[in-house]
């Protein structure tokens, strides 16, 4: 050993690491210089012998691993490594170094004196003695701990990104600038049917099988646009992506964006597919439900109107071949519903739809308009052919016998036929015409076809009715009805100062004029909206009486007319009961007037309605009495309080001997049954005098009082406004 400056040196001999294979002797000064250079070199260096013992280390080595030279020289190098690195070094790396004489870029984990672990990369060369035995190595070490940590962090981040991309439902495909696939996530593998290993390096056109059924762009142009990157991730129109595996189709929205390096250079593109198949199916279902009838599966009214409007537009734009429209209404369907219930009615409707589908042509449009009404649009069809199809429908439905239990049910069809040409400006107008023609077919006997004609008198009447129906509905919605009053005068002094009268309805027109009920009530009855009017009148009168109860002490009777439809309407009965149960006023003042005809036609319902309101003290009058053929025979079954003698017997009574006999007869029957009589349309004193002689109790007419605003009866009884013969 040589000791210099407090440091221990082994004697440098020809076999030492400074001599290599040369047999040169170094003097002590040269050795010291060489050793000092080795130690102070700003690199992590060490040398080991054939037994892997450390012979020499650089100063940076000591600082890096935290040892002093005295602690480390002579220790086995592999003893400083972690278990995994030690095993690898002793079994693989160092034997290979001794065998081949060098190694490069071998990674170890070194345990510092402090216990910390450093990642290092080792490169070594081995020297041998003259007989070829390993002498010592010269090893350069690079601390790659930070790089290793960064690498691990990047690998973790990459794995996190991979797991994230594979877990999302959107398909992600990355491609190079040349359009070659570089990556697919799990969802993209599912959508395309390609595994990422098989797809990598292939063109996007080969991997992505796409079609666009909306814009009809070619697959190539679609992919080219995606590779262009767009302006970022904003999903475009829906396209269909077909999987390579099994040909399954996915409806997807597509977005793409450029991939750029930190420096901003273009590296490729990422394409994202969002699976909207479920939304597509849901939307398709919603569209179907919005355009089709749930029960029968054919088109509904809304879609039929839209297609009819398109057909009209095509005719007006191109002067196309004329077409035709059928409006079909089943006759007797209510009987089926009543006899077998709604389930049976539904079965019948489906059966009828099957029949209609077989009769009409494949190019025709069939729809269920509502309830038991259907529409057929016969495009490019002459009127003669359309008439033949309509008649065939009539014949086949009439021949249909629908079995329900032990019953064989029968329906027929009334059909309105309209030519679709440039005359019509809207679907609503042509549908209205077809509806009117269908109505005429029903009124003419049913089970027939009626062709629309502009000059058809019956259709004009129907259109006039429809006009009034619209005005009535508008009046109900916008409070355009008003109430009037006409006195009913006693022909004796039994009532003293008490008033009796009838509430009369008036419709206010656009110029604030008044329209009489006789103008619009027929249409209201025909289209079954009279109960709506009755509800409006009853509620308004009840509200008015409750509000003005203190001012109505002099009023004995307030008569309200009811239509026959209301008498037969259980919902209306319940409505009146509810009002009487909640509104506070003297219910005994109310008298409902029902016509003799409606009372007899709905006898059971009429009796039930009358008797149910007796508990409130409500009274009833039988209006237009004497007009029916069996008036007296039904009278004992109707518990009414008043008989209003039909006006046909009152007008010209002084010259009409038959009328006089009828009135006397009615008065006698009324006296026997304990009822009061009222004569309406009394216009002369001579008639009034004769009625008094006959024993009539009350009169109503222009002789004593012309109708006036309802609120005027709130004035004290006997005022001039109530006794005047003048019009108000």
pLDDT tens per residue, range 120-129: 999 999 999 8
More confident residue, 72 or 245: 72
Main-chain phi, psi angles of 20, to 5 degrees: 60, -135
Mean pLDDT of all residues in 548-571: 93
Which CATH code for domain 476-712? 3.20.20.450
More confident residue, 232 or 162: 162
Looking at residue 490, its pLDDT comes to 93
The phi, psi pair for 248, rounded to 5°, reads -65, 140
Q: In this predicted structure, what is the pLDDT of residue 638?
A: 87
The CATH class of 168-279 is: alpha beta
- 3-class SS of residue 161: helix
Which residue, 603, 500, 646, is CA-closest to 560? 500
Mean pLDDT of 14-26: 42
| pLDDT (mean) for 114-139 | 92
Do the domains spanning 2-144 and 476-712 agree at the CATH topology level? no
Considering all CA atoms of the chain, what is the largest pairwise distance in Å, rounded to the nearest integer? 171
Residue 217 C-alpha from the chain's centroid: 30
- Domain spans, the chain: 2-144, 168-279, 292-454, 476-712
The long-range contacts involving 84-87, CB below 8 angstroms and separated by at least 24 positions, are 84/109, 85/109, 85/110
Mean pLDDT of 283-291: 89
What topology does CATH give the domain 2-144? Beta-Lactamase (3.30.450)
Whole-number pLDDT of residue 8: 37
Q: What is the mean pLDDT of residues 134-145?
A: 91
CB distance 175 to 205 below 8 Å: no
* Separation of CA 374 from chain center: 24
Position 486 scores a pLDDT of 96
**CB atoms closer than 10 angstroms to residue 95:** 11
CA distance 358 to 348: 16
Pick from 360, 366, 365, 363: nearest CA to 386: 360
As a whole number, mean pLDDT of residues 219-225 equals 85
CB neighbours of residue 479 within 10 Å: 10
Q: What mean pLDDT do residues 396-423 have?
A: 87
Residue 502's pLDDT is 96
**CA neighbor of 47 nearest in space, from 58, 56, 36, 37:** 56
Containing 673, the helix (H) or strand (E) segment is: helix 657-673
- Residue 604 to residue 591: CA distance in whole angstroms: 19
What Rg do the C-alpha atoms of the chain give, in angstroms?
A: 53
**Residue from 674, 673, 672, 671 nearest 695 by CA:** 671
Q: Is the Cα dihedral 543, 549, 553, 554 positive or negative?
A: negative
* pLDDT greater than 90 at residue 301: yes
Q: What 3 state SS string does 93-145 have?
A: HHHHHHHHCEEEEEEEEEECCCCCEEEEEEEEEEEECCCCCEEEEEEEEEECH
Q: Which are the contacts of 442, defined by CB distance < 8 A and separation ≥ 6?
A: 329, 331, 414
Q: Which two tokens stand for residue 427?
A: 């679907």
Q: Quick one: which H or E segment has residue 507? A: strand 499-508
Q: What is the pLDDT of residue 24?
A: 43
- Residue from 184, 190, 191, 192 nearest 165 by CA: 184
Topology of the domain comprising 292-454? Alpha-Beta Plaits (3.30.70)
Instruction: Give pLDDT tens digits for 384-407.
Output: 999 999 999 999 999 988 777 777
Cβ atoms of residues 600 and 629 within 8 Å: no
For residues 682 and 511, give the distance between their C-alpha atoms in angstroms, rounded to a whole number: 31
b vs e for 106-141, b when ≥16 Cβ sit within 10 Å of the residue's Cβ?
bebbbbeeeeeebbbbbebebbbeeeeebbbbbbbb
Answer yes or no: are the C-beta atoms of 348 and 331 closer than 8 Å.
Answer: no
Say how many Å lie between the first and final Cα of the chain, rounded.
146
Residue 278 is predicted with a pLDDT of 87
Of 217 and 204, which is predicted with more confidence? 204
User: Which of 279-288, 562-571, 679-688 is predicted least confidently?
Assistant: 279-288
**Structure token pair of residue 275:** 């699976």
Among the ranges given (25-29, 202-206, 619-623), the one the predictor scored with the smallest mean pLDDT: 25-29
Give me the pLDDT at residue 5, please: 33
In a 3-state reduction of DSSP, which class is residue 316? helix
Mean pLDDT score, 697-704? 94
The pLDDT value recorded for residue 150 is: 84
Listed residue (206, 259, 199, 264) closest to 229, CA to CA: 259
Cβ atoms 148, 119 nearer than 8 A: yes
**3-state class of 343 per DSSP?**
helix
The pLDDT, as a whole number, for residue 586 is: 95
Instruction: Assess whether pLDDT exceeds 60 at residue 238.
Output: yes
For 557-583, what is the mean pLDDT? 94
Which pLDDT band holds residue 594 (cuts at 50, 70, 90)? very high
Are the CB atoms for 410 and 401 separated by under 8 Å?
Answer: yes
- Closest C-alpha among 506, 429, 502, 503 to residue 475: 506
Q: Does residue 469 have a pLDDT over 50?
A: yes
- Nearest to 327, CA basis, from 293, 384, 371: 371
Q: Identify the burial level of 173 via C-beta atoms within 10 angstroms of its C-beta, where 0-12 means exposed, 13-18 middle and 19 or more buried.
A: buried
Structure letter (DSSP) for residue 91: I
Query: Cβ distance 181 to 199 under 8 Å?
Result: yes
Who contacts 613 (Cβ-Cβ below 8 Å, separation ≥6)? Answer: 576, 577, 580, 592, 620
**pTM attached to this predicted model:** 0.52
pLDDT (0 to 100) of residue 628: 63
User: Please, what is the average pLDDT of the chain?
Assistant: 86
Among the listed residues 54, 55, 72, 53, the one whose alpha carbon sits nearest the alpha carbon of residue 63: 72
CA angle 606/622/676 to nearest 5° reads: 130
Q: Give which of 562, 563, 564 is closest to 592, Cα–Cα.
A: 562
Report the percent of the chain where pLDDT is more than 90.
54
8 Å CB contact between 432 and 466: yes
- pLDDT at residue number 526: 80
Q: How many CB atoms lie within 10 A of CB 448?
A: 18
């Amino acid at each position: 050993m040589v000791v210099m400056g407090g440091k221990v040196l082994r004697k440098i001999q020809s076999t030492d690491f400074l001599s290599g294979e040369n047999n040169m002797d170094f003097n002590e000064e040269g050795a010291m210089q060489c050793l000092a250079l080795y130690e102070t070199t700003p690199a992590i260096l060490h040398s080991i012998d054939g037994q892997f013992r450390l012979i020499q280390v650089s100063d940076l080595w000591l600082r890096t691993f935290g040892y002093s030279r005295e602690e480390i020289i002579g220790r086995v190098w592999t003893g400083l490594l972690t278990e995994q690195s030690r095993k690898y070094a002793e079994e693989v790396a160092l034997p290979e170094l001794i065998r081949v004489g060098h190694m490069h870029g071998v990674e170890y984990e070194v345990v510092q004196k402090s216990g910390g672990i450093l990642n290092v990369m080792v490169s070594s060369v081995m020297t041998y003695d003259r007989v070829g035995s390993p002498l010592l190595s010269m090893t350069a070490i690079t601390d790659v701990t930070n790089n290793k940590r960064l690498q691990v962090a990047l690998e973790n981040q990459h794995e996190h990104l991979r797991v994230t991309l594979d877990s999302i439902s959107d398909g992600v495909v990355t491609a190079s600038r040349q359009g070659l696939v570089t990556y697919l996530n799990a969802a993209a593998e599912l959508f395309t049917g390609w595994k990422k290993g098989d797809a990598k390096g292939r063109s996007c056109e080969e991997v992505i099988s796409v079609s666009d059924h909306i814009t009809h762009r070619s697959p190539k142009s679609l992919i080219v646009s995606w590779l262009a990157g767009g302006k970022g991730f904003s999903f475009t129109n829906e396209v269909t992506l077909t999987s390579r595996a099994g040909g399954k189709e996915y409806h997807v929205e597509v977005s793409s964006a450029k991939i750029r390096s930190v420096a901003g250079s273009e590296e490729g593109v990422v394409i994202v597919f969002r699976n909207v198949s479920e939304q597509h199916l849901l939307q398709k279902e919603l569209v179907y439900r919005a355009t089709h009838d749930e029960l029968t599966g054919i088109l509904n009214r809304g879609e039929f109107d839209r297609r009819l409007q398109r057909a009209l537009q095509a005719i007006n734009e191109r002067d196309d071949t004329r077409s035709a429209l059928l409006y079909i209404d089943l006759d007797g369907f209510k009987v089926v519903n009543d006899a077998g219930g709604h389930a049976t009615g539904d079965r019948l409707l489906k059966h009828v739809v099957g029949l209609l589908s077989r009769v009409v042509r494949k190019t025709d449009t069939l729809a269920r308009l509502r309830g038991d009404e259907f529409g057929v649009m016969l495009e490019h069809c002459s009127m003669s052919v359309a008439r033949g199809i309509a008649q065939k429908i009539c014949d086949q439905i009439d021949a249909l016998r629908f079995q329900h239990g032990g019953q064989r049910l029968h329906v027929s069809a009334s059909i309105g036929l309209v030519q679709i040409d440039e005359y019509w400006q809207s679907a609503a107008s042509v549908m209205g015409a077809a509806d009117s023609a269908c109505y005429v077919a029903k009124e003419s006997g049913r089970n027939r076809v009626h062709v629309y004609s502009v000059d058809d008198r019956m259709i004009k009447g129907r259109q006039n009715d429809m006009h009034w129906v619209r005005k009535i509905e508008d009046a109900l919605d916008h409070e355009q009805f008003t109430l009037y009053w006409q006195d009913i005068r006693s022909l004796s002094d039994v009532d003293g100062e008490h008033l009796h009268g009838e509430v009369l309805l008036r419709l206010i027109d656009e110029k604030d004029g008044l329209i009489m009920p006789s103008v619009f009530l027929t249409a209201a009855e025909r289209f079954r909206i009279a109960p709506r009017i009755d509800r409006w009148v009853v509620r308004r009168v009840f509200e008015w009486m409750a509000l003005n109860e203190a001012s109505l002490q002099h009023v004995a009777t307030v008569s309200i007319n009811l239509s026959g439809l209301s008498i037969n309407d259980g919902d209306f009965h319940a409505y009146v009961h509810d009002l009487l149960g909640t509104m506070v006023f003297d219910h005994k003042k109310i008298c409902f007037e029902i016509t003799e005809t409606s009372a007899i036609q709905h006898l059971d319902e009429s009796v039930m309605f009358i008797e149910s309101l007796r508990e409130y003290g409500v009274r009833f009058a039988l209006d237009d009495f004497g007009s029916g053929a069996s008036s007296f025979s039904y009278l004992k079954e109707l518990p009414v309080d008043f008989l209003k003698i039909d006006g046909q017997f009152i007008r010209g009574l002084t010259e009409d001997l038959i009328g006089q006999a009828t009135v006397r007869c009615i008065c006698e029957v009324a006296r026997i049954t304990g009822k009061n009589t009222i004569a309406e349309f009394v216009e002369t004193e001579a008639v009034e005098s004769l009625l008094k002689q006959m024993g009539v109790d009350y009169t109503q007419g222009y002789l004593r009082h012309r109708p006036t605003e309802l609120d005027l009866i709130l004035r004290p009884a006997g005022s001039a406004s109530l006794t005047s013969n003048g019009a108000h």
